[in-house]
Amino acid sequence: MLVKVCGMRDGENIRLVENLSVDLIGFIFYPRSPRYVNSLPKYLPRSAGRVGVFVNEKLGVIEDAVIRYGLTHVQLHGSEIPSVCVALRQQGIQVIKAFSVSVPDDLMAVGRYDGCCDFFLFDTSTSGYGGSGCSFDWGILQHYTGNIPFLIAGGIGENDVERVLNFKHPQFAGVDLNSCFEISPGIKDIEKLNRFITKLKR
């Protein structure tokens, strides 16, 4: 199962998280987020993938960040249309398209992105796009019948290991961890993350 830790920006903290053998580390390029990355961290992941998270950003701005931060993945967390995903993939960047989920009908939109993305990310519906710390009813995801693998996000915390392990879906690929593992915005609690990941991978 893939583990993505999102909302990072402190070099030393990034290095410690990467040492937990996580698969993906996310950087928020949305200026209104408390986790916004506005300068190059002193350390960037080498073994984990580097995911840049954007909300309705201009393609040129995304492309600049891909080069500057050496991003391997771009996560589109707004209402970006499929052609934006396609344009990024044509440049060799892996694309994660995020969707807010609160009712089964929210999954109707994903069909338009078939063949345009590498992963979907299903997150809690919130006024602030992401990083809400709130969960949603994962049972709704049984209505998803597509072929693109997905990550689950939204308020996943230390006590959710059993819930994650018990969740079954043919396209379930992994989890996204963020605010429930924070000491302060952008800084993760390494011990807490270590306990969660150790139990998950046991």
Ligand X SMILES: O=C(O)c1ccccc1NCC(=O)[C@H](O)[C@H](O)COP(=O)(O)O
The single residue listed with the structure tokens 């995020």 is: 98
Residue closer to ligand X, measured from CB, 35 or 66: 35
Question: Is-contact 173 149, C-beta < 8 A?
Answer: yes
Helix (H, G, I), strand (E, B) or coil at 184: strand
Nearer to ligand X (CB atom), residue 30 or residue 144 = 30
Residues 197, 191: Cα–Cα separation, whole Å: 10
Least distance from ligand X to the Cβ atom of residue 159, Å? 13
Tokens 């000491």 correspond to 183
User: Rounded to the nearest whole angstrom, what is the least distance from the CB of residue 155 to ligand X in the complex?
Assistant: 5
The residue ranges that bind ligand X (CB under 6 A) are 6-7, 26, 28, 30, 33, 35, 53, 55, 77, 123, 129-133, 153-156, 176, 178-180
φ, ψ for residue 17 (rounded to 5)?
A: -65, -40
Taken in order 130, 5, 195, 164, the sign of the CA dihedral is positive
CB neighbour list of residue 70: distance below 8 Å, 6 or more residues apart: 44, 50
Nearest distance in Å: CB 78, ligand X: 8
**CB nearer ligand X, residue 66 or residue 77:** 77
Q: Which residue numbers are catalytic?
A: 6, 123
What does the alpha-carbon distance between residue 111 and residue 148 come to, in Å, rounded to a whole number?
10
Distance between CA atoms of residues 23 and 102, nearest Å: 27
Q: Cα–Cα distance between 59 and 88 in angstroms, integer? A: 8
Q: Which is nearer to ligand X, 76 or 145 (CB)?
A: 76
Least distance CB 139 / ligand X (angstroms): 18
